[in-house]
Structure 1
Amino acid sequence: MTGSRALPLSVLDLVPVPLGTGAPQAVEDALTYAAEAERLGYHRYWVAEHHNMGALASSVPLAVLAAASQRTTRIRLGSGGVMLPNHAPLSVAEGYRLLSALAPGRVDLGLGRAPGTDGRTARALRGAPGLLEEPFERQLADLMAFGTGEYPAGHPFAGTVAAPAGEGLFPPLWILSSSGYGAHVAAHVGAGLAFAWHINPDTAQARAAADAYRAAFQPSAAFPQPRVLVAASVVTAPTAEEAEDLSLPLGLMFLRLTRGESAPYPSVAEARAYPYSTQERALADSLRRRAVIGDPASVAARLCALARDTGADELIISVNIPDPALRQRALVLVMNAVRAHEAREVTPV
């Protein structure tokens, strides 16, 4: 973020399933959320891929994004991301080419190499042993060949046409990273870099990854220049006290995930009443502290500092509040507070 240019803000949705509701309502809330993000001026709406998690309904981002394409007209839609080892590259290429036909010119394809779940579920997703055990970079090369129709000499699948056919349907690629490996891959293929600071909140490592990516970047048609997006979890409310309260379910949800439990996203009341042991309390608190928690002004200051310190060109925020109305309220609070913070920074003293 330089000078007086506004910091682009985007939204990452995990499609939470609050206690007492179900997937149909969670998906409907996600579509309303996407439309609200567009109305407020957010740049992208991305959906994460997670499996075997009762608290989240984001197992198939493509399905949510296809529905969101019919509720929005301007906001970019993308995966944050497709966990490529879980999928056949041709299937991914075809799915996101089709999404581009539904939302021409506004689709992103974010790719990660983590499973987005536990080891047993990852094995179930990948089918028979050895079916999808190719290295990530080999899968990525195949995906790009299928998506663009540009095959290297001798490629075993040369001539295969990813449907639907047509020019301009393969979306720009973003590589998700929580370390330096993804930065290397993104630079090599000329993709955007999305650093998962919400998973690895090490600002120095995020900056090192961004710097290494820019130094080694090889331009592509989709990315003539390098572009770094940094993801942050956010819990905000009009007061710091309310924000702290609203962050309690995040800690309990993460705690359950560490124990392999699948349950709906807990409520504030459930999280407050949970009988934590001393060790559980400490772990839940440390896990929820990965998020940026506080009143709008303090959250905006931290987000702008994060963009500056990591060298991010854009931030994408995951609002970890299960209540849909309060989650939408947080989108308004963050956008207004960040713009107000930027205005104060550029106003001469």
Structure 2
Amino acid sequence: MSIPLSVLDLLPIPSGSDAPTALQDALKLVQDVEQLGYKRYWVAEHHNMLGLASSVPLAVLAAASQVTSRIRLGSGGVMLPNHSPLSVAEGYKLLSALAPHRVDLGLGRAPGTDGRTARALRGVNPEQPFERELAELIAFGTGNYPAGHPFAGILAAPVGEGLFPPLWILSSSGYGAEVAAYIGAGLAFAWHINPDTAMARAAADSYRAAFRPSPDFSEPRVMVAANVVCAPTQQEAEELALPLGLMFLRLRLGEVGQFPSVAEAKAYPYTEQERAVAEAAIRRAIVGDPQQVAARLKQLAHDTAADELILSTLLHDPAARQESYRLVMDAVAQL
């Protein structure tokens, strides 16, 4: 199996720990996965979630740029409705100056949080369509404005050749595929959120059929995201995955807190309905020993026609998380 693997990090803050420690763990992780051969390290944007330290991906990526030298760094993604397009263009061009030729700008149109927090993020700015925000972002980043544009002449600083990074559009349905094809961007399908393999394949096929080449992408490029928990044995992996179910249950209940431990997940007094919610969340992940995980990833890549897979591993123990990524890479390399 020669398909490239990448990492999507949500920066879990384990119960009993804190944000500074989680950030240091993230910097260790990005160094580890760079050495293991992962192609990209992306950081997701989430808000009002006390168990995750990924509220400002740009800050994490700037720090990661100083402790790595090869791995590509990117947002997975910037939730564009939460931000000014000009500020996004400036921030990621500056990141490109810190890490030349290895920055990706992944963009999504979801808020990455609940509706109330989204309103707080956006302040008094009126909402505008994602397509308009995207067009403004590209114009600010490249200087290519349509005739008569009111912001013509404004350039996102710093200015320099190759600083505006390649764009990726995040999608959990067919809409993002249409946008990515139209602007000649990469497509990142969120199978870890919507594990509908048929929909992922349909999005990939429609994207490839409608793709218009761009300076950054001469050909279409599809990346598929998956939640993965890998351990030496299936039993160990299933145990490590238990907190994932509790985390999603708490999100469903509107509760916020740090990422739970295995002991907390085992001790939680689930109702029958709550247990069903938690178990369903775990079933959306690929959980198992190295051979099982590698086989399922190979099948996922085949079924979705992915060019690349990006893996998110949420575990309470940072060492177990790093070990999961190592086991996966070693197993996939042997296929």
Q: Residue in 1 aligned with 2:293?
A: 299
CA–CA distance in structure 2, aligned partners of residues 198 and 167 of structure 1: 35
1:322 CA displacement = 2.3
1:318 aligns with one of 284, 308, 312: 312
1:44 pairs with 2:40? yes
Gap regions ≥5 residues in structure 2? none
Contact preservation (8 Å) 1:89, 1:146: yes
1:147 pairs with 2:141? yes
Contact preservation (8 Å) 2:4, 2:38: yes
CA–CA distance in structure 1, aligned partners of residues 221 and 316 of structure 2: 30
1:126 pairs with 2:122? yes
Quick one: which amino acid aligns to residue 88 of structure 2? V
Q: Residue in 2 aligned with 1:117?
A: 113
Q: Residue in 1 aligned with 2:87?
A: 91
1:64 pairs with 2:60? yes
1:122 CA displacement = 0.4
Q: When the two structures are superposed, what TM-score results if normalisation uses the length of structure 1?
A: 0.95
SS at match of 1:72: coil
Q: Residue in 1 aligned with 2:20?
A: 24
Q: Residue in 2 aligned with 1:201?
A: 195
Can you list the C-alpha shifts for 1:131-168, whole angstroms capped at 9, x where unaligned?
14110000000000001111111111001121111121
- Residue correspondence of structure 1 range 223-234 to structure 2 within 5 A: 223-234=217-228
SS at match of 1:117: coil
1:217 pairs with 2:211? yes
Q: Residue in 1 aligned with 2:244?
A: 250
Mean CA deviation greater in 318-327 or 53-62: 318-327
SS at match of 1:77: strand
Quick one: which amino acid aligns to residue 57 of structure 1? A
1:102 aligns with one of 98, 109, 125: 98
1:337 pairs with 2:331? yes
Quick one: which amino acid aligns to residue 197 of structure 2? T
- Structure 1 runs of 4+ aligned residues shifted over 4 Å read none
1:265 aligns with one of 234, 237, 259: 259
CA–CA distance in structure 1, aligned partners of residues 155 and 79 of structure 2: 22
Quick one: which amino acid aligns to residue 338 of structure 1? V
1:148 and 1:167, CA in 2 relative to 1: closer, same or farther beyond 3 A? Answer: same
Contact preservation (8 Å) 2:142, 2:155: no
CA–CA distance in structure 2, aligned partners of residues 272 and 69 of structure 1: 38
SS at match of 1:51: coil
Q: Residue in 1 aligned with 2:153?
A: 159
Quick one: which amino acid aligns to residue 174 of structure 1? W
- The Cα RMSD (Å) is 0.7
SS at match of 2:170: strand
CA–CA distance in structure 2, aligned partners of residues 182 and 322 of structure 1: 32
CA–CA distance in structure 2, aligned partners of residues 321 and 299 of structure 1: 16
CA–CA distance in structure 2, aligned partners of residues 301 and 289 of structure 1: 16
Q: Residue in 2 aligned with 1:289?
A: 283
Contact preservation (8 Å) 2:111, 2:118: yes
Quick one: which amino acid aligns to residue 12 of structure 1? L
* Aligned residues between the structures: 335
CA–CA distance in structure 2, aligned partners of residues 221 and 161 of structure 1: 19
CA–CA distance in structure 2, aligned partners of residues 176 and 280 of structure 1: 30
Q: Residue in 2 aligned with 1:346?
A: none
Quick one: which amino acid aligns to residue 130 of structure 2? F
CA–CA distance in structure 2, aligned partners of residues 113 and 323 of structure 1: 31
Gap regions ≥5 residues in structure 1? 342-349
CA–CA distance in structure 2, aligned partners of residues 70 and 21 of structure 1: 24
Contact preservation (8 Å) 2:262, 2:316: no
Can you list the C-alpha shifts for 1:26-71, whole angstroms capped at 9, x where unaligned?
0000011001010000000000000000110000000000000001
Q: Residue in 2 aligned with 1:35?
A: 31
Mean CA deviation greater in 285-294 or 96-105: 285-294
SS at match of 2:208: helix
SS at match of 2:53: coil
Q: When the two structures are superposed, what TM-score results if normalisation uses the length of structure 2?
A: 0.99
